[in-house]
Amino acid sequence: MAHDLDTDPTWLGGVWAEQNTTPAKIAEALSELLKARHADGEACAPARVLNLVVIVDREWRGEIINRLERVGRYHPSRLILCAVEPGRTELDAWATLRVEGDPRPGEMALYHEEVVVDIGEQHLGMMDTIVDPLVVSDLVTVVWSPHGHPEAVDSLLRLAQVVLIDSLMEPDPAAAVARARELEERAYIVDLAWLRSTPWRERVAATFDPRSLRPELGKINSVTVRHRPDSVITGLLFFGWLASRLGWEPGHIMSQHDALVGHAHGRRQDVKLRLEPDPTMNAPGLAGVTIETASGTEISLNRGPGGLTARRRNRKGNETTWTVLGASRGEGGILGEGIRQALLRDPTYAPALRAARAMLP
Amino acid sequence: MSETAQKEPQNPLVEGLERLPIHPTTLVIFGGTGDLAKRKLLPALYNLAHEGALPERFTLIGVSRSDMPHDDYRQMAKESIMQFSRRPPDEKVLDRLLENVRYVPGTFDEDSIYEKVKETAEEFDQGAEIVFNRVFYLSTAPAFFPVIVGKLGEHGLNRHDESEVRVVIEKPIGRNLAEAMALTRANLGVLREEQVFRIDHYLGKETVQNMMALRFANGLFEPIWNRNYIDYVQITAAEDLGVGTRAGYYETSGAVRDLVQNHMLQLLALLCMEPPVTFSADDVRDEKVKVLHAIHAPEVDRVKEIAVRAQYASGMAEGKDVPGYLDEPGVPPDSTTETFGGIRLEVDNWRWAGVPIYLRTGKRLARKITEIAVTLKPVPHLAFDQQGSVGVQPNQLIMTMQPNEGVSITLGAKIPGSRMRIRPVNMEFLYGTAFLSQSPEAYERLITDAMRGDATLFTRVDEVIAQWRIIDPILQAWSEEPGPLPKYPAGSSGPEEANGILMPGHHWRTI
């Protein structure tokens, strides 16, 4: 039955809503919304890339929806947002189709499906039974639970191929690494804390890529990472990446005043590691990286206007500075990148995570 | 000096990175104030900078005739980027990008500009304490290509002991076979073929590259991709706009030189080539060249049988009256420049022998579309009653490059009801529905490939010559025929005469 969007009170403005509903009714509503679009004769097609299942605390629902709206072109094709409200026993839901961009004449409109389901804590352990009828079969399903609720994530692992996490949200780095390791054995992990280090990893790799500088990689004897105080984990993953790529054997890190310090055993020499908090930094993630080599070269990258400010000091003490161009992606960009990465496979995260684990006492 | 010639120390940090490092580069744009630089190259460079995809160290030198200081050139570049970038520029990134821009004024035959370019590039090297690669982008009228390449050679800018030197050349590579060969000889007297990157921006389009994925990453199509199953192929590149203000250029080109000789023959080659051993530059281009060599160049006196040309007459487009080509500003009243070209070719090899491949392109057609339609042979026996239906049609596989990038397959399906009646239906894959990423501009991909030294998406010299060898006799035959040319109404699907090159039972798809 095609619903009349103008007169049916549950379909006002192209939005379907129902209290005390069921997953089957929500799935039917999505199907009816699609038929109504086609009945209107609109040249439109549904995006069919991935399902994103998000579990949030209901009081922060609006904030998460706003974050998802800022992901730019990386909208999931079907968003199923489950808002957890303590004490709730019934499911309330609404669903809508959102058209992307402003198609020109002759172009197909592309739309995304959005479903919000209010759930109670009692539903968390059986999330798979609520979500299963709502995901598009054969598409990658990604789960993101920014406010914790590990039991919901665990119950959804039967359906999901990818889990989006942000290790930064876990105050204890050891607990963050342990949880990431646990999930990594059961699904592909996209960690926003890792993605915040991507530009740094790319630029450090590029800095040492000229043929004349590659031998310096084997001579690294000190790495200092500066980070926002809550972003220790991003720094640890960065160390883990260097260690796993360069064959270092990481030792434990420990507190020293405000910093965390430690060593890794390189093939030729030990490497001093230091994580320094930078309270002036506004955005989560890293503020700077300094790498020194046994031959006296020092390379540092720091956040700056229009990209990263790079500085190289050679063994004679001569310095050059330049800007490695790149716009800040912002937190919306990081989340969008996380959604995009769900379709790719990064073979370097898991080894970096294992190396980071080895640095924690 | 070849980067692969020496045993290199490895960089394990690049493993797993989506964006692989590119060696520090100085890009020199000859024609740095021209239309292409303003509309495409400078905005592409900004977008690469925004995404952090430029080399870690990047410097730009614009070279052009206008006399202006560095700051005025930077201002011009800034305005072009702000006007034509596909995303609103971030002022901080833009300002930093422009800090490393220099300008060298002068005409391309002046020795002083090459000395100045050399000096500026060396200053960049010294400042960075690293030797940058040099990429010279010839964004100029084709007449300047041999002049600039010759001067690069004279001033020792064609090679460098410590870095790579590459030259990017825009189309057209000559106006005919003889000119293309002369230009090639001039280039290769100064540069090695590996240093020359001939841009065909069609090859930078994601949807064109997707043709290779469709063919070689799917077991579904390859078994039927041959003369046993395919009846004919149509490649269409239709534009809805007229010649506009480009009559000066178009009069020297025409539809066939503008699109068929390069872009459409590239599409044909990608469609018909054998699977390459690897996707390395030379393996892919080897296979494309084999296809082009398998197309017999038409004899001049038989061109009429396989090729048709026409000009648009006045008509209606987008709901308003539009002038015919001969009434467009700047077009001579007796012009014989074709605005429509249709050609029938055959690839004479084991896979394709006997399968006509129709190419057509034109301006002021009913709509803008670029597509390849592969029509399969009809089923050998029909058990269905076709009365009361349009009947069973041969399957078609249609690859659309623009505007709705995707692939569709027409299938016969039963019309609901008590009788077994069949009509064609479409099974569609729209590129935009299946990927989150917006496709980058073709120039962004091609500029990074040129800086990286990956020539896969660039046209090799033997491809250019093979393309001209096919097209040259057609242009020669047409040049010997007086006008006026057949006409087609603006906003139509093309001239009636285009049907004359179709084999019996074949028909053009509606534009």
Q: What is the pLDDT of residues B377-404, one digit of tens each?
A: 998 887 776 676 667 789 999 999 888 7
Name which of B15, B24, B432 is nearest A348 (Cβ-Cβ): B15
Q: Is the peptide bond before B484 cis (omega within 30 degrees of 0)?
A: yes
Answer whether B121's CB lies under 8 Å from B83's CB: no
Q: How far is A7 from chain B (nearest CA, A)?
A: 31
CB half-sphere exposure, A109, CA atoms < 13 A: 17
Task: Give pLDDT, residue B172.
Answer: 84
- Gap between the Cα atoms of B50 and A29, Å rounded: 41
- Residues of chain A with Cβ-Cβ distance to B17 below 8 Å are 201-202, 205
Contact yes or no for B172/B257 (Cβ under 8 A): yes
CA distance B252 to B229: 40
Mutate: best of B11, B46, B123, B429, partner A, most A CBs <10 A: B11
Rounded Cα distance between B199 and B446, Å, is 8
pLDDT score at B99: 95
What pLDDT digit, counting tens, does each position of B176-213 carry?
A: 999 999 999 988 999 999 999 999 888 888 778 888 88
**A4 contacts chain B (CB < 8 A):** no
Of residues B144, B87, B157, the one with CA closest to residue B116: B157
List the catalytic residue out of B23, B70, B160, B263.
B263
Catalytic residue list contains B507: no
In the beta sheet, which residues pair with residue A162?
A: A142, A188
- Higher-confidence residue of B322 and B441: namely B322
What is the rounded average pLDDT of the residues A354-360?
A: 96
Q: Tell me the average pLDDT across B54-80.
A: 96
The pLDDT of A258-284, averaged and rounded, is 94
In one-letter notation, the amino acid at residue A231 is: S
Q: Which residues of B touch A110 (CB under 8 A)?
A: 430, 432-433
Residue B171 is predicted with a pLDDT of 83
Checking DSSP bridges between strand B406-414 and strand B396-402, what pairing results, if any? antiparallel
Average pLDDT value for residue range A275-297: 95
Token pair for A343 = 């379709």
Partners of B127 on chain A (C-beta within 8 Å) are: 320
Examine the pLDDT at B3 and tell me if it is beyond 50. Answer: no
pLDDT digits (tens, 9 = 90+) for B453-482: 999 999 999 999 999 999 999 999 999 988
Q: What is the pLDDT of residues B438-452, one digit of tens each?
A: 667 889 999 999 999
Facing residues of B358 across strands? B234, B344
Query: Which residues on adjacent β-strands are paired with residue B409?
Result: B397, B427
Has residue A1 got a pLDDT over 50? no
Q: Of the candidates A107, A108, A207, which has its C-beta nearest B56's C-beta?
A: A207
pLDDT score at B439: 67
Give chain A's mean pLDDT. 90
B436/A339 CB distance under 8 A = yes
Pairing state between β A162-165 and A249-256:
unpaired
Stretch A134-155: mean pLDDT:
94
Q: Rounded CA gap, A225 and A301, in Å?
A: 10
Report d(CA A98, CA B436) in Å as an integer. Answer: 15
Burial category of A148 from C-beta neighbours within 10 Å (exposed 0-12, middle 13-18, buried 19 and up): middle
Distant-in-sequence, close-in-space partners of B444: CB < 8 Å, separation ≥ 6:
B44, B47, B48, B53, B204
Residues of B in contact with A107 (CB under 8 A): 403-404
pLDDT cut 90: percent of chain B above it:
74
| Stated pTM of the model | 0.88
* Identity of the residue in B8, B403, B433 whose CB atom sits nearest the CB atom of A45: B433
The residue ranking higher by pLDDT, B392 or B224, is B224
pLDDT at A3 over 50: no
Cβ pair A245:B97 closer than 8 A:
no
Residue B221 has pLDDT above 70, yes or no: yes
pLDDT of residue A9: 46
C-alpha torsion sign, points B87, B88, B92, B95 = positive
SS3 A276: strand
pLDDT at residue A41, rounded to an integer: 63
Omega prior to B403 cis, within 30 of 0: yes
pLDDT surpasses 50 at A5: no
Q: B106: which residues sit within 8 A by CB, 6+ positions away?
A: B63, B65, B112, B113, B116
Q: Out of B326-330, B355-359, B422-426, which region has the weakest mean confidence (pLDDT)? A: B422-426
**pLDDT surpassing 80 at residue B352:** yes
Please compute the mean of the pLDDT values over residues B344-360 and round it to a whole number. Answer: 97
Q: Do B14 and A205 touch (CB under 8 A)?
A: yes
Nearest Cα to A202, choosing from A336, A329, A339?
Answer: A329
Q: How far is B498 from chain A (nearest CA, A)?
A: 25
Size of interface A-B (CB pairs under 8 A): 142
Which of A120-129, A232-241, B160-169, B387-396 bottoms out in mean pLDDT, i.e. has the lowest? B387-396
Q: What is the pLDDT of residues B266-311, one digit of tens each?
A: 999 999 999 999 989 899 999 999 999 999 999 999 999 999 999 9
pLDDT reported for residue B391: 74
Report the complex ipTM: 0.89
Which residue has tokens 């993101």?
Answer: A144
Which pLDDT value is given to residue B372?
96
Axis-axis angle for helices B265-272, B461-479 (nearest 10): 130
What is the Cα–Cα distance from A143 to B299, expressed in whole angstroms? Answer: 64
